Amino acid sequence: MKELGWPTLRVWVRTGISDPLTQLLAEQDENTLHRPLLPFDAAKLYRELKDLLTEDALRRQRATRFGADDGEVGDGGAESAPPHGDPGKSRNQAAQLVTNSASHTRLEQICTIETIAADDARPADVRNVAEEELERIREGGAVDPSYQRVRAALKLAEDREPDDDTAEDLEELAAKALTQARADRAARIAENRRKREAAAEAARRSVHSFVLIWEDLEGWTDRYDPVEVGQELTDAQWSAFQQTLTASVEFADHARAARKHRPCERRSCDVVASA
């Protein structure tokens, strides 16, 4: 800096960053690979880092809109940002830093469950469900099922009457609602699969098209040098050829078996003629 003649350096200063996050940022800055984090630990770092990135984005916005104060101490200008990944929303950047992936869905789910568990404005039974699901996640349970159970419990609590003391246990109701939701989802998946299969069937080409293709291929083995082909094809091209060849043999086997069950009117008249 002295050799370059820089009189000052604007930096991004933020106190109160946790030691685990400091270590994570240091590893990222050194371009080293950190060990994979458990979902619960990753969510804590994700929440903290997302808040920092959001805070810095607002600071940058203010500096751009109103101009930076050169006399300000401890808060860098728009050119002095904290380390972050690819441009995008704070949650994408935070997820990228914590998990090496921009996918933030699972981390957001854990943060949402934590928020509900800590919100005294929520009904006690809803917070209890959230706490139980957090404990499942801490013990290595899958995140999405826990998130869906908490969502179901929250929805049921919002729909019930305030003075309804005869309702079933909220956790049992949430489990039932989740089971029904899963059944509905499975039904939708099956219906979508059926539609895709129907569309694929409708897109099949005609037998006439098949005949034209194979008429065009007749004698193709005489038009190419197998030695030249074997030597010049790339590995990817050879693999594609092999896959097509294998699929063609399987197709021929099925078609050969189907020929044994052809309708009588499609068979040759040799038998009738000889009779």
Q: What is the reported pLDDT for 30?
A: 58
Structure tokens at 240: 């594609």
Instruction: Please state, in angstroms and rounded to a whole number, the distance separating the CA atoms of residues 18 and 45.
Output: 9
Determine contact, residues 152/184, Cβ cutoff 8 Å. no
Structure tokens at 236: 């990817």
Q: What is the reported pLDDT for 267?
A: 52
Alpha helices (H) in 100-234, listed in sequence order: 105-118, 124-138, 143-159, 170-202, 207-217, 226-232
Q: What is the reported pLDDT for 141?
A: 84
Nearest CA to 159 out of 177, 182, 133 is that of 177
Q: What is the reported pLDDT for 162?
A: 60
In tens, the pLDDT along 37-53 reads 788 888 888 888 888 88
Instruction: Please state, in angstroms and rounded to a whole number, the distance separating the CA atoms of residues 127 and 114.
Output: 9
Q: What is the reported pLDDT for 194?
A: 85
Domain residues of the chain, as ranges?
19-103, 107-201, 206-274
Instruction: Please state, in angstroms and rounded to a whole number, the distance separating the CA atoms of residues 72 and 63.
Output: 11
- pLDDT < 50 stretches in the chain: 69-81, 83-88, 166-167, 272-275
Cα torsion angle, 212, 216, 221, 225, sign: negative
Instruction: Give residue 221's Cα distance to chain centre.
Output: 45
In tens, the pLDDT along 75-113 reads 444 444 454 443 347 888 888 878 878 788 899 999 999
Q: If you count DSSP H runs as helices and E runs as strands, how many of each does the chain have, helices first?
A: 11, 0
Question: Helix, strand or coil for residue 60?
Answer: helix
Instruction: Give residue 40's Cα distance to chain centre.
Output: 18
pTM of the model: 0.50
- φ/ψ of 3, rounded to 5, equals -65, -30
What DSSP state is assigned to residue 161? -
Q: What is the reported pLDDT for 113?
A: 93
